[in-house]
Amino acid sequence: MLGLSLGNDVLKNLNKEMNLENVEKLMLETSDAIEYQNEVSAILHSNLTADDEEQVIEELNALRAEALAEFNERLPNVPKTDLSNSIPVSKNRLRQENEQAEDISPEPEKSEPLLA
């Protein structure tokens, strides 16, 4: 009997916390959310026509071109002069490069013993 009495008290407390107006409001909000979700699902599951898909692709390409143009505007300008012909090569540098090339000795042959 004590269990029924405690259960009855708990049920009364729950009924005090959740009045009928709050339950109706919650049900209305839930049904609105379910309706919205069904609309989103219907849109996602519908197939685009060829014209719609073409328009979407054109819009995507336009957005990409716009983003690329904005990115290119932020890049610094690159000089257009060719610097390779304007820098003279000194005779000393050429001589040093030739001497270094002559100093390179060939690898020892495999028949020669290696020194320890």
Count of domains forming the chain: 1
Residue 58 forms part of a structural domain: yes
Residue 14 forms part of a structural domain: yes
What is the overall mean pLDDT for the chain?
Answer: 82
Residue 38 forms part of a structural domain: yes
Digit-coded pLDDT (tens) for 16-34: 888 888 888 989 999 999 9
Give the number of residues written for the chain: 116
Q: State the Cα–Cα distance between residues 34 and 45, nearest whole angstrom.
A: 16
pTM for this prediction: 0.31
Residue 83 forms part of a structural domain: no
For residue 91, the model assigns a pLDDT of: 64
Digit-coded pLDDT (tens) for 98-107: 777 776 655 5
Q: For 25-37, what is the HEC assignment?
A: HHHHHHHHHHHHH
Tokens coding 42: 């219907």
Digit-coded pLDDT (tens) for 83-103: 666 666 666 677 777 777 776
Range of the domain at 30: 10-74
Residue 54 forms part of a structural domain: yes
Q: State the Cα–Cα distance between residues 116 and 114, nearest whole angstrom.
A: 6
Return the residue matching tokens 């009495």. Answer: 5
Residue with more model confidence, 45 or 112: 45
Mean pLDDT within 67-78? 90
